[in-house]
C-alpha cells in the first residue's frame, strides 16, 4: 500500500514537472498589415496554450479581412456591395451574404437611433462632394446637382429582409447606392476579435484605421491604454486623453483631416444626409465606446453629424459613453457624457 502511494506521488510529481516545463512566460504578439484602404495593428498575449501560432493567426486574419473587403468595399467594382450598387433593378430582392446582411441591419438600427444622421445611402452625395470613389471635387457642387442626388438618398429607399434562409436586399430607386465606409471597418475589427477568441486568446487589442476593440488586459496586467487624438489643423498628431479600456470597442469621427477648402470655407467629408451639405457645426471630433466595434463605428459617424448638443443629448438618453472635442474661439474644449465620465473615473481608481 505504501509502495502504491509512493508511485502515485512520483507520477503526480512528474506530470506537474512536465506541465510546468511546457508553460512559457506570457509573450505579446504584434501583427500588422494593410486592409480597406488603411492599416491594421493587432496585439495579443500568448501564454503558450493557443490553437494557432502567430504566423497561422496572421494568415487567417488576412483571409478574414480580404473577405470583408470583398463583400463591402465600394472601391472594388467586383465586391458584393458594388455589384448591388451597379444594378438598376428595383423591387427585386437579391440574396446577400450573412455578413453583408448583418452590417446593413445594424446600420438601419443605428439610423433610427441617430434620427437619420447615420445613413448608408448618402453615398451619391458623398461622391458628388469628392469624398468617395469618384474623382475628388475641386469646387463646391451646384445646388441643382445636390438636389438631384438627394432624390436617391434615404434609408427608406432600401429594403432588407431576413428569413430562415438568409438575408435579401432590394432597392426602391435605381440609383440607390449603399456605402458602408462608416461601419465596415468596425465589423472587420469584430471579425478579427472573434477569431482571436476562437483560438484561445483572452487578452488582445485590435485596431483598423482607428477603430479599436480590446479584451482583457495588456502585458502588464492593466487595462489597455488607448489614446484619444487631439484635433489639430496642421496635420500633426497629439494626445488629448488616455483611457484604460477593458472588454470594449472605441471609434472616433472628426472633420479635421478629410476636407477641402474653397474661397476660405472648409468643407468636411461628413455629409448631413438630410441636407446633402457638409456639416458646419463646432464639433471637431467625437469618440464613442460600445461593446462592439461595428456599433461604435456607426455611432461615431452618426453622432458626429448630429453635432455637439444633439449628440450629447442622445448619449445621456441612451446611456452611451462619448467624449466630444468642440471648436471654440479660444481653441478646443472637451465634454463627455455621464457614462464616459464614470468609466474614466473607474480606470483612475
- The rounded distance, in Å, linking the Cα atoms of 152 and 168 is 20
- The rounded distance, in Å, linking the Cα atoms of 87 and 34 is 29
Neighbouring-strand partners of residue 322: 288
pLDDT on residue 130? 81
- Which region among 72-76, 102-106, 205-209, 262-266 has the lowest average model confidence (pLDDT)? 262-266
The residue-averaged pLDDT of 97-115 equals 97
Write out the three cell numbers for 106. 445594424
pLDDT on residue 34? 96
pLDDT on residue 25? 82
Q: Are 231 and 248 in contact (CB under 8 A)?
A: no
Report residue 176's pLDDT band, with 50, 70 and 90 as the boundaries: very high
Q: Is the pLDDT of residue 264 over 70?
A: no
Q: Are 164 and 151 in contact (CB under 8 A)?
A: no
CA 216 to chain centre: 19
Q: Is the pLDDT of residue 261 over 60?
A: no
Higher pLDDT, 192 or 280: 192
- The rounded distance, in Å, linking the Cα atoms of 90 and 78 is 20
Phi first, then psi: give them for residue 262, nearest 5 degrees.
-145, 125
Q: Is the pLDDT of residue 233 over 80?
A: no
Higher pLDDT, 6 or 158: 158
Q: Is the pLDDT of residue 39 over 90?
A: yes
Q: Are 41 and 30 in contact (CB under 8 A)?
A: yes
Q: Are 303 and 199 in contact (CB under 8 A)?
A: no
Q: Are 186 and 211 in contact (CB under 8 A)?
A: yes
Write out the three cell numbers for 253. 469621427
Q: Is the pLDDT of residue 119 over 80?
A: yes
**Closest alpha carbon to 271 in 111, 131, 140, 107:** 131
- Which region among 17-31, 63-77, 220-234, 333-347 has the lowest average model confidence (pLDDT)? 17-31
pLDDT on residue 13? 46
The residue-averaged pLDDT of 26-30 equals 94
Question: If you ran DSSP here, which 8-state letter would residue 343 be given?
Answer: H
Q: Is the pLDDT of residue 265 over 50?
A: no
**Closest alpha carbon to 230 in 302, 308, 333, 306:** 333
Q: Output the average pLDDT for the chain.
A: 88
Pairing, β 248-254 against β 211-215:
antiparallel
Q: Is the pLDDT of residue 158 over 90?
A: yes
Q: Is the pLDDT of residue 3 over 60?
A: no
Q: List all residues 6 or more positions away from 311 whose beta carbon is below 8 Å from its beta carbon.
A: 283, 286, 303, 304, 322, 324
Report residue 263's pLDDT band, with 50, 70 and 90 as the boundaries: very low
Report residue 19's pLDDT band, with 50, 70 and 90 as the boundaries: very low
The residue-averaged pLDDT of 67-86 equals 96
The residue-averaged pLDDT of 87-92 equals 96
pLDDT on residue 268? 57
pLDDT on residue 250? 97
Q: Are 295 and 109 in contact (CB under 8 A)?
A: no
pLDDT on residue 20? 45
- The rounded distance, in Å, linking the Cα atoms of 348 and 345 is 5
Q: Where are the beta strands (DSSP E) in 47-163?
A: 94-96, 158-163
Higher pLDDT, 139 or 149: 149
Q: Are 273 and 107 in contact (CB under 8 A)?
A: no
- The rounded distance, in Å, linking the Cα atoms of 92 and 169 is 8
pLDDT on residue 23? 56
Higher pLDDT, 84 or 256: 84
The residue-averaged pLDDT of 211-221 equals 96
Report residue 46's pLDDT band, with 50, 70 and 90 as the boundaries: very high
Amino acid at each position: 500500500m505504501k509502495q502504491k502511494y509512493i508511485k502515485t506521488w512520483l507520477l503526480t510529481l512528474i506530470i506537474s514537472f512536465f506541465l510546468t516545463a511546457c508553460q512559457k512566460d506570457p509573450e505579446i504578439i504584434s501583427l500588422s498589415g494593410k486592409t480597406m484602404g488603411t492599416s491594421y495593428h493587432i496585439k495579443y498575449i500568448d501564454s503558450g496554450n493557443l490553437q494557432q501560432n502567430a504566423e497561422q493567426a496572421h494568415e487567417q486574419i488576412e483571409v478574414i479581412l480580404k473577405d470583408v473587403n470583398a463583400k463591402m468595399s465600394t472601391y472594388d467594382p467586383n465586391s458584393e456591395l458594388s455589384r448591388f450598387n451597379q444594378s438598376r433593378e428595383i423591387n427585386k430582392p437579391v440574396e446577400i451574404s450573412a455578413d453583408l446582411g448583418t452590417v446593413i441591419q445594424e446600420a438601419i438600427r443605428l439610423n433610427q437611433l441617430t434620427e437619420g444622421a447615420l445613413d448608408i445611402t448618402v453615398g451619391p452625395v458623398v461622391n458628388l462632394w469628392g469624398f468617395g470613389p469618384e474623382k475628388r471635387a475641386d469646387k463646391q457642387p451646384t445646388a441643382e446637382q445636390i438636389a438631384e442626388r438627394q432624390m436617391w438618398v434615404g434609408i427608406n429607399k432600401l429594403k432588407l429582409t431576413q428569413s430562415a434562409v438568409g438575408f435579401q436586399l432590394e432597392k426602391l430607386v435605381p440609383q440607390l447606392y449603399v456605402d458602408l465606409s462608416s461601419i465596415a471597418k468596425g465589423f472587420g475589427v469584430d471579425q478579427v476579435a472573434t477569431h482571436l477568441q476562437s483560438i484561445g486568446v483572452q487578452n488582445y487589442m485590435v485596431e483598423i484605421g482607428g477603430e479599436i476593440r480590446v479584451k482583457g488586459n495588456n502585458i502588464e496586467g492593466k487595462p489597455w491604454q488607448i489614446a484619444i487624438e487631439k484635433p489639430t489643423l496642421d496635420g500633426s498628431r497629439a494626445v488629448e486623453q488616455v483611457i484604460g479600456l477593458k472588454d470594449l470597442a472605441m471609434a472616433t469621427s472628426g472633420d479635421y483631416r478629410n476636407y477641402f477648402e474653397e474661397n476660405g470655407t472648409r468643407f468636411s467629408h461628413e455629409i448631413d444626409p438630410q441636407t446633402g451639405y457638409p456639416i458646419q457645426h463646432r464639433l471637431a471630433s467625437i469618440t464613442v465606446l460600445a461593446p462592439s466595434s461595428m456599433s461604435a463605428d456607426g455611432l461615431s459617424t452618426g453622432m458626429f453629424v448630429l453635432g455637439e448638443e444633439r449628440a450629447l443629448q442622445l448619449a445621456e438618453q441612451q446611456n452611451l459613453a462619448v467624449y466630444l472635442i468642440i471648436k471654440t474661439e479660444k481653441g478646443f474644449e472637451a465634454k463627455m457624457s455621464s457614462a464616459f465620465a464614470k468609466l474614466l473615473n473607474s480606470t483612475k481608481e
